[in-house]
Every structure is written in C-alpha cells, then in structure tokens.
Structure 1
Amino acid sequence: MIAPSRWRTIAVLLSVIFGLLFSLPNVLPQKTLDSLPGFVPKQRLNLGLDLQGGSYLLLEVDTNALRVEKLTNLVEDVRTTLREEKIDFTDLGQVGGAVSVRITDPAQLTAATNLLRRSVGAPLAGSTTGRDVTINTSDDQRIGLVFSEQALVAESGKAVEQSIEIIRRRIDELGTKEPDIRRQGIDRIVVQAPGESDPEKLKDIIGQTAKLTFQMVDDSVTPEEAAAGRIPPGSQVLPSEEGGALLVKKRALVTGEMLTDASQAFDSQTGEAIVNFRFNGQGARRFGDATAQNLGKRFAIVLDNRVISAPVIQSAITGGSGQISGNFTPESANNLAILLRAGALPAPLSVEQQQTVGAELGADAVQAGKISTAVGFMAILVFMLLSYGFLFGGISVIALLVNGLLIVATLSVTQATLTLPGIAGLILTLAVAVDANVLIYERMRDEFRAGRPVLSAMDAGFSRAMTTIIDANVTTILAALIMFQFGSGPVRGFAWTLSIGVLTSVFSAVVVTQFLLSIWFRRVRPKTLPIV
C-alpha cells in the first residue's frame, strides 16, 4: 500500500496544481489579476456580511393584504362573469372574508351557481377535481363564495417564495455580490447584502411592491360626484401624482407581468427622465386592442395603487412598447426600471429589523480570523514536530498545507460565501486532518514494536487506521449536512466549510502522506521507523 503508484502521483500533482491555481487570485492585487490572460482563474473568496460589512434586513410578507387582494379580484370576476351571461344581481361585495351576491331572478339562481362553479377560481393544487373557491347558496337567493383555507395557505407560501426570487433579482440589479436571501419561519425573509452599506437604499429597492397596471379612466361621473362618494360599481378612486385623485376602472387592461423590458431614458423633446417599456406578445395584443377600442379616452398608468400618468389615447398603440413619464429624476427613473424588470412583489413587505455592519468591523473580523488560523496552524506544527520528528511531522504539515490550499481553491471555484463561522470550520478541519495523521503514525509505531518490518508496519498503519478515519469523517460530514439543511446563514457557512474540509483532509492525510512517505522510503530504504 505504501509503494508508489502512477495514479497516486498524478492525483497529488493535479491537486497541488489545482490548489495553487485557484488560490492564487486571493493573494494577488486586483491590478495584477486584471492584467493576467483571460484563461487564468480570477475567482476570489466571497466574504460574508460579518467579514466585509453590509446590510441586514428582516422582512415580513403581508399575507393578509394578499388575501384581501384575492377577494377583491374575486368580486370583479363574479361581476364580469354574471354580466357576460346577462344574469341580474345585486348586493355584490365582501362579507366577513367571503364574497356574497344576490341573484335577482329566482329562476336564474341554479344557472348562476353552476356558471360560477365552472368559471370562477382555479383548480386546487394536488387535486384533480377540487377548486380553490367553495360556492354555497342560501334561501334568500344569495350565493356565497369563499377561498378554501388550503388554497390560501398554499398561496401565502407561494407568495413568500416568489418574493424571495424577486428580491434576489432586484439586489442583483444593484450589483451586490452573493446576497444571502432565505426564508425564516412562515412569512419572513432574511436578506444579507455584503458590501451594501446603505440599508435605506436597499429598503427602497426591495420594499416597493412595484405593481404596475394599465387601467381605463372612468369618466361616467364627474370628479365632484366621485368625491361625494357616488362611485360606480367596478371603479375606484386612486391618488394621482398630478394632484388630487382619479376615478379608474378596477379591471386592469394590461399588468406589469407582461413586461419584457424596462429601461431609464430621456425624452427627446423635453429632456426629462422617463422609463421606456416593452410588452410580450400577449401584452402587446391586449394593449393594442384596448387602445384601438378607446380612442379619445384616457387610460391610467398605475404603480402601487397610485396614478403616475393618465394620457389620452390619440391612436392605437400596436407596437408593444411605450414610455412612462412623471416628474422622475434620473435616479428614480432608473430605480423604477429596476423594479419593473425584476417584477412586482405578490404582497407588500414590512421591515421588522435592520442592521448595518461597518467595513471596519468586518476588517477586524478578517484580521482576527487570520490570527486565529495562524495560531492554530503553528500549534499543530509544533505538536507534530515534537511528537513525530522533523521527517514524519514535517510530512504531515506539508499534507496540511495542501489541505488548506484545496479548501481555499474549492471555496473560490464554487463562489461560496466565507463567514466568521466558516473560518471556525476551517480551523476545526485542520485539527481533524492532523488527527488522521496521528492515528496512522500511532498505528505504525504499534506494528513496528510488534516486530513487523518497516514497510509492513507502514502499510499496516494506513490500512488499519482507515476504518477509524472513515468512521470519524463520515459522522462529521453527516452532522455537517444536517446543519447545512436545517441551519441559518452562519450555521450553513460553518457546515459548508466543514464539509469541504472533511473531503480534502481525508485526501491530504492519506493520499498525500502516502505519496511523500513512499518517496522517502524508496530513496532511504530505512531499517527502523524514525517515530519509534
């Protein structure tokens, strides 16, 4: 087993080259790194929030607002469905978390109930026949519609997951590298943005719902009548950026979900900042049809329930693109474009907690991590040299250095985020790696003292210690995997570094040590072990 082999030589040489090549960018100045050829690896370790500073936000998804919005949409769906089939109704509205409507003609009650059961709502997830809306009738010709609790819970969970993805896209647009965004509990989201020192800017970008809709202005009543409360069914009053309020239809012609692109630009005539947008095929058709059917009328561009512009439709807009203006600054127009590109949040977010970690504190943590790693390495070096001499102790230290190179290179290649707990995992890995060398050397001592020749004792030392080494490392990596699966950010960073370290330490403590000892034995042909 100790005899040199081709595969062991190739494996050790490739691992050393890999470790040096991918660890080198972490010690080179940025200017030197930029001047290197394109094929040279340039990935560096990504430092976490606690090491380079940044912003921390704890957000809560307002699932109650989501339920209210779903009920509002259900009211409009019922109104549209019954009107299209010319079924007379009254008293349509929300009552105690449900939607209620009274059918005027008793003879149409059964037809209306069957129509709503077919047309309103959507299939329930995980069910082949059920729907997310339950419909019941009462004696006074009234139909009640309510969302099932299963559908509401599923919708809330979907909203949280969708919010995480939208937040990630918005932060990516800011250029923040390796943000850590994860769900906490039922309806909370933790956001860690390393390198982003302004939490207010972060809140402005990710906290806006950015729900964009295009709705027709309702001119059937005068502004005075609308202000007096005489609002037609199917319409609502929204505040306007141009001052006052505006009466608009609740039904949206086109929504922001149909946008494919948005960008900040400047109006060629006025020079003011604007936002250009473009619809997908479905949005372009709907927008073109709506503008063709409403020539001379106004439509409202609504962002988060506030009218930012209400132009008159002069001609059909069939190109699928347009622009939004509204007293924007270049920065606010660019922020709006970022929000529209990333998509609208399915529900409002509220900030429950925010923290800022300064770059100086992160630099202190990095320095402390370097010192602790150096102290740990020196302690291991002294212990191994005193216990096993300069030859065997030195070989174990060389294997340990290869192990460190492999860990840093792997973290750089995978672009994993290194945190302060991750540094703790790195130090623990160094101790575990040396533990394997101690087991191997002590077994060699026992076998040589029992009368075995040097080569036989060295072979037995590796072969008989492997069971213990594998058992110890398998249990460690299983514990690390459990921590990674169920832990939060810092715990996951510790578990990820520890998992990588377990794999590289077994390789370095066994394969690299075997390779170096085989070279020594082949050249020296010793009659005794230096560690006895």
Structure 2
Amino acid sequence: MRANQKRLIVTVVVFVVALLPLLIPHGSAPAGSSFIDKLAANIKLGLDIKGGALLEYQMLTDVSDQEMDALADRVIEVLRARLDAAGFTEATVEKVTTGISFGEDIPPVRVRVQIPGITDVSRAESLVGKTGRLYFADVLAIETSVSTPSIPAGMSLEISRRKLQGAEPYWVKELHYGEYVGGVQNNTWYFISPKVSIGSSYAELDGSVVTDAKPLVNNQPRPGQGRFMVSLKFSSEGAKTFRDITSVKSTYADTDMKKRLAIVLDDRVIIAPLVQSQISDGNAVIEGLNSIEEAKEVSILVGSGNLPVDL
C-alpha cells in the first residue's frame, strides 16, 4: 500500500473518531424527537445562534486595580457556583479587562456572564446580581404600612443601648412585601436589630457559618407551616452560637417579641418564627416560601456564599 494511501486511511479514521461524539445521540432532545434532532442536541450553541442572556457587571468598590482583580476572581467563583446549582451548566463566567473606548468612567476589571438558551432574563439578573447576604436578627416590632413606619413609641432607651453595641435597629420589609395573596396586599415591616441579644451580650450570626443549604418540600405540613422550605446546616462555630441564641429565646413567653428570631436575606425578612426550644444539632429550617422555585433560589443564594462586593 502506498504511503499516501496509508495517510488517507489514517486521516479518515481520525476524522470519524472525532465525529463520534456528535454522531451518537446523547443530547437533551425531548422524547419522540427525530434522529436529526437528537444529533443537534449534542451541539452546544452560543448566544449568537441559540440566544440567551449576556450580563456584564462592574464591582462597586474603591479598591486598587490589583485588589479589584482578586475580588473579580472571588465573584466569578461565587457566580459559577450559583449558576451550576441552578442548572445553567453551559453558562460562562469570565473576567473582562479590556479598556473602554467610548469615554465612560467604567472600572478596568469587570465580570461578564453569558447564559445560552435562557428566556427569563430577569431571573438570571436576580440570581446573579443579588448579594445573597443571610443573617439572623432580633425582632423588636412588627407593623403593617404602605411606607416605612415611624420608630415604635417607648423604645428610645432600647435603641440607644443597642446602638452602643453596633446593633442599631432598622425597618426592613417582609420577603413578599407588595404581593397580593387572596386579594390582600402584603405590607408587613419588621423592626430588627442585626445582632441577637443573649442576656447582657450580643451574638452575630450570618451566612458565613452556613455550610449547606438545600430546598425541601414538606408534603405533610403542620397548620400554617407551608410546604416549601430550605434546610440550613451550620459549621461547628455557627452551631454553638445558634444553640446559645435558641437557648435564651426559648425561655420567653409566646407573647413576648423577644421570642422571635428573624431570618433575613438581602434585608428582606424571610420568616421570623417563635423559638420554642433550644436547637443544638446545628440544623435549622427556613419556612414561609411560596414555591419550590423560590426555595431553590434562596438555597442557591445562601449556599453559594455571599458576594464579596456589590455588583
């Protein structure tokens, strides 16, 4: 056999082997699709063909360019975890350092996210752009109002005392504020303190000590409990703090506001339940969510960690 014939055979074999991944249907085409549709599903299409969302963010910070570069790496790590957890495995997250030619005052380091195939761009923006800051807080008052309520009467001394401890209270909205349920608009506000009182001292508990967060569906909820929730697992340090907090709060009467512990995400109260007993095993549950999609989003935002900077 001539040398050029051998080279031709080798070339054809290599070409066929290279095509095998595309010729074997293993894509995500719907059931009942034709053979050609199944082959097409093997090919990952970019935004120019498949469509989708392209989001580019600048980091709101005054740090040096070198520090900004390191911040971008951490942002990319968090966003990659969020997108993977949400099922957007084809999405790309990259650092952009090219200059701006049209004169706008934009930082030299930015983060670009491309999500092929997504049709709900607002969902992508919500998932990517939220800070995901989770923390636990004392509840000092609950009111219903269409605007920010006034400071509750008779609370000046309590506010001054907490201010000295770096725990000055403020009003935040309930997670579903403004939404209508059964024809009634939710206008609930919570007056919260970001540090939790434990006797004469204060404890701080936030998402940095959460090691795992998963969405749950409770098919047999108790009255008023709701079906959709998120389970949280704390680190050993967080579990100890959570035990100390629940140990104190469980001693108050149900009518005492001190018995409540607010779980807050991005300055929205998800739920503020009464603490009925001490919790020592480092596990907690966030209830009061309206759907499994909302439970998934909360678990992703909490479980992927906080963004180190606002976008």
* TM-score calculated relative to the size of structure 2: 0.66
Please tell me whether the aligned partners of residues 195 and 205 of structure 2 are also in contact (alpha carbons under 8 angstroms): no
The change in CA–CA distance for 1:330 and 1:295 in structure 2 (over 3 A counts) is: same
The change in CA–CA distance for 1:224 and 1:184 in structure 2 (over 3 A counts) is: farther
Distance 2:231 2:3 in 1: 70
The change in CA–CA distance for 1:31 and 1:14 in structure 2 (over 3 A counts) is: farther
2:47 to 49, 54, 58: 49
Letter in 1 for 2:207: G
Aligned to 1:59: 57
Cα deviations by residue, 1:359-414 (Å, 9 ceiling, x for unpaired):
xxxxxxxxxxxxxxxxxxxxxxxxxxxxxxxxxxxxxxxxxxxxxxxxxxxxxxxx
Aligned to 1:265: 217
Hey, which of these two has a bigger chunk of strand by percent? 2
2:69 to 141, 157, 161: 157
Cα deviations by residue, 1:72-121 (Å, 9 ceiling, x for unpaired):
xxxxxxxxxxxxxxxxxxxxxxxxxxxxxxxxxxxxxxxxxxxxxxxxxx
- 1:21 paired with 2:20, answer yes
Identity of aligned residues (%): 29
Aligned to 1:364: none
1:172 to 68, 84, 104: 84
Aligned to 1:236: 168
Please tell me whether the aligned partners of residues 217 and 249 of structure 1 are also in contact (alpha carbons under 8 angstroms): no
Distance 1:323 1:19 in 2: 49
Letter in 1 for 2:86: L
Cα deviations by residue, 1:287-325 (Å, 9 ceiling, x for unpaired):
224433554344332212333333343322112211113
Coordinate RMSD, CA, aligned: 3.8
Gaps of 5+ in 1: 65-148, 350-532
Distance 1:165 1:302 in 2: 23
Equivalenced residue count is 255
Hey, which of these two has a bigger chunk of helix by percent? 1
The change in CA–CA distance for 1:199 and 1:280 in structure 2 (over 3 A counts) is: same
Q: Which structure has the bigger radius of gyration?
A: 1
Letter in 2 for 1:190: R
Cα deviations by residue, 1:26-55 (Å, 9 ceiling, x for unpaired):
89994799999xxxx998221110011111
Aligned to 1:318: 280
Which deviates more, 206-215 or 277-286?
A: 277-286
Distance 1:287 1:293 in 2: 10
Aligned to 1:292: 247
Q: Secondary structure of the residue that 1:58 maps to in structure 2? A: strand
Cα deviations by residue, 1:229-265 (Å, 9 ceiling, x for unpaired):
7453121223142424223428763321332122143
Deviation at 1:223, TM superposition (A): 4.0
Deviation at 1:277, TM superposition (A): 1.9
- 1:197 paired with 2:119, answer yes
Q: Secondary structure of the residue that 1:232 maps to in structure 2? A: helix
The change in CA–CA distance for 1:159 and 1:5 in structure 2 (over 3 A counts) is: same
The change in CA–CA distance for 1:26 and 1:48 in structure 2 (over 3 A counts) is: farther
Aligned to 2:153: 224
Distance 1:173 1:332 in 2: 14
Q: Secondary structure of the residue that 2:277 maps to in structure 1? A: coil
